[in-house]
A and B are shown apart, each in its own frame.
Chain A
Amino acid sequence: MDVAAPALILRRRPEAGRLARLFDNKTFLICACLTPAIGLLVVFLAYPLGLGVWLAFTDTQIGGGGEYVGIENFVSLAHDPVFLKTVFQTIFYTAVATAGKFALGLWLALLLNHALPFSSIIRAIILLPWIVPTVLSAIAFWWIYDPQFSIISYVLVDRLHLLAHNIDFLGTPWHARFSLIAANIWRGIPFVAISLLAGLQTISPSLYEAAMLDGASPWQRFRFVTAPMLMPILAVVLTFSVLFTFSDFQLVYAITRGGPFDTTQLMATLAFQRGIPGGQLGEGAAIAVAMIPFLVASTLFSYFALSRRKWQQGEANE
């Protein structure tokens, strides 16, 4: 047997087909395994992105061809009051909504980090706003913000008699802006709360005990132990949250469609409106491309300002 076995292998070798030998080649195997993933990324990610960037430099319209026009789209956008207003609105929306999400999300996470009765059920409930499809919750908010049937107006006017008239949530610019921000915060809290809770749970309880013995008050324990140790995960969550909020489309489109008078337009909704219903594909693409610098800047900010700290690096004993 032990003599026959190597002989068998030796005899088999030449019999293996060319295909089998090809798969023995490491380089070929690596390429073969990577191709599907790269293919998907190229077709569904790189190509649309590249096409979008290209369109931004053309005057393409729906149904018609287009020509390369250089930065003409961007020049005209720079003088477009609606676009400039939209940029302000997008930044305002992102800033206020992110601040709200983090304040409330962190507060919830800190509460949940204490041993509460039914804490796993509470955690599941907290995830609900995130699980519900955006458009469904948008429709719910649409009803909450309805000028005639709003439950908020009903409670304040008919029940508590605090106001004389219903609130026109979506009909006036600032009301509409804050209404959308409230809806966005409601949707975003679960993501922030659950992520930060995961971060909080990695902090060893003995650190709090040590801080307590060191004489730290509850606020000082938060300030000197919780906050710095939560910073790395906070940076990641913050980056994602800013990206999602800045490029928000669904909520705004479903509740206000950018109205009244474009006062709730975000860059994503404006790009869609100009590009698809408006037919100006080139201009819409230019608005979308104009978002990229903002997104890159916010990512870089959180990466460099918040993310990696010296104490997390350097395992080595130098």
Chain B
Amino acid sequence: MAHVSIRQARKSFGATQILHGVSVEVEDGEFVILVGPSGCGKSTLLRMIAGLENISGGEIAIGGRVVNDVPPKQRDIAMVFQNYALYPHMTVRDNMAFSLKLAGATRVEIEEHVQRAARILDLAPLLARYPRQLSGGQRQRVAMGRAIVRDPQVFLFDEPLSNLDAKLRVQMRAEIKELHQRLQSTIIYVTHDQIEAMTMADKIVVMQAGRVEQVGAPLELYDRPANRFVAGFIGSPAMNFLAGRIADGAFHAGGAAWPLPNAAGGVNGAAVVYGIRPEHMMLSPGGLRATVQVIEPTGSETHVIARVGSASLVCAFRERVAARPGETIEVLPNPALAHLFDEQTGNRLN
């Protein structure tokens, strides 16, 4: 196990700059997830850690050793690929044993390691099969087994669950998290799915367009997003944003006055963006009048898309809503959980 330091890492392909100086600290045994929309550079960063892409600037250190010029096989890392990259002509056992075989381990050692990994991942009955004969989830587990066998300092996961169906993804999510708790290993994991990031990570790194937007624990990002991008990216359904002005101790947008968060430092007359998560809206008689447009019952909660003044708003209520489209309901935000962002920079104000 080791910690990983990424200091001002830059990457460019020709004239196109992909990463603009990214710095992330990964502690020993920490589960860190790089998350962001496609093209934000998260996979490139992971491949730079693995040594599959060279580093254009800055440095990456694994266990205190700068690895900029260290070839991949000497970095003591293992990677799980999005398409698993299992060798189709090798059985599960040979797939898992390949790296040890290349390293010149004895038969006994190899068998011991393979059996241990197979036990951890429940792969023992599949050892003699070829990848073709496995289901998606099984292949996923073999790919992880191949990584575990090597007992590396750092595990790298590149969108490992994106080829699985929704149900299996939920199951594998739990398995990977359990695996981490069991092995206590350092894991750097890339995904575009914020739910994966929220559910598994010790620490999330939100990236956009080659820059780190915010680093923090999942609930920290949820409770206090540093800027509008993080606020909109984390959480589902996404946060509502209303553009308006602060006047007379309230936020005014689209002809309605919204209560300000307690610690609001908003200046009178300042143009701000008011952010409120759908689940922080409450049905409240005497509140803001909202015209229902669409109702989406999910079972556990009810999503209501409504208009307040000229602004469109998504609300998620725990209770069931009897209103029909076109009818009016009265809603109120929980002001303690509202967010204010600068209209120009998008940075958090409160």
Contacts and interface: CB of A to CB of B under 8 A. Distances in A.
B133 A314 contact: yes
A316 B129 CA distance: 11
Contacts of A210: 79, 81, 85, 87, 146
Interface in A69-88: none
B72 A220 contact: no
Contacts of B134: 317
A315 B133 contact: yes
B307 to A, nearest CB: 48
A48 interface: no
B79 A213 contact: yes
A216 B102 CA distance: 7
A314 B81 contact: no
Nearest to A318: B133
Interface in B114-170: 130-135, 146, 150
A309 B89 contact: yes
A207 interface: yes
Interface in B233-270: none
A277 interface: no
A290 interface: no
A132 B156 CA distance: 52
A318 to B, nearest CB: 7
Interface string A188-231: 00000000000000001011011111111000100011001100
A310 interface: yes
B50 interface: yes
B102 A213 contact: no
B108 to A, nearest CB: 20
Given A224-B98, A315-B133, A213 B73 contact: yes
Contacts, number: 73
Interface string B70-95: 00110001110111010111100000
Most buried by B among A211, A215, A316: A215
A19 B81 CA distance: 62
B15 interface: no
Contact of A212 (B73, B87, B133): B73
B147 to A, nearest CB: 9
Contact of B85 (A204, A220, A229): A204
Contacts of B89: 228-229, 309, 311
Nearest to A215: B73
Given A212-B52, A214-B102, A317-B133, A311 B90 contact: yes
Contacts of B81: 206, 209-210
B162 to A, nearest CB: 14
A257 B269 CA distance: 100
Interface string B88-114: 111000000011001100000000000
Given A204-B85, A207-B85, A314-B132, A215 B102 contact: yes
Contacts of A212: 51-52, 72-73
A316 B133 CA distance: 6
A314 B150 CA distance: 29
A224 B95 CA distance: 11
A236 to B, nearest CB: 17
Nearest to B126: A317
A278 B172 CA distance: 77
B99 A214 contact: yes
Contacts of B131: 311
Contacts of A317: 133-135
Contacts of A204: 83, 85
Contacts of B50: 209, 213
B4 to A, nearest CB: 16
Contact of B98 (A209, A214, A229, A309): A214
Interface string A234-271: 00000000000000000000000000000000000000
Contacts of A209: 50, 52, 79, 81, 85
Contacts of A318: 133
A317 B132 CA distance: 9
A69 to B, nearest CB: 52
A316 B90 CA distance: 17
A2 B319 CA distance: 53
8 contacts: A207-B85, A210-B79, A211-B87, A213-B72, A214-B102, A225-B87, A311-B88, A317-B134
Interface of B: 50-52, 72-73, 77-79, 81-83, 85, 87-90, 98-99, 102-103, 130-135, 146, 150
Given A209-B50, A214-B150, 5 more contacts: A214-B98, A216-B98, A309-B89, A312-B132, A314-B130
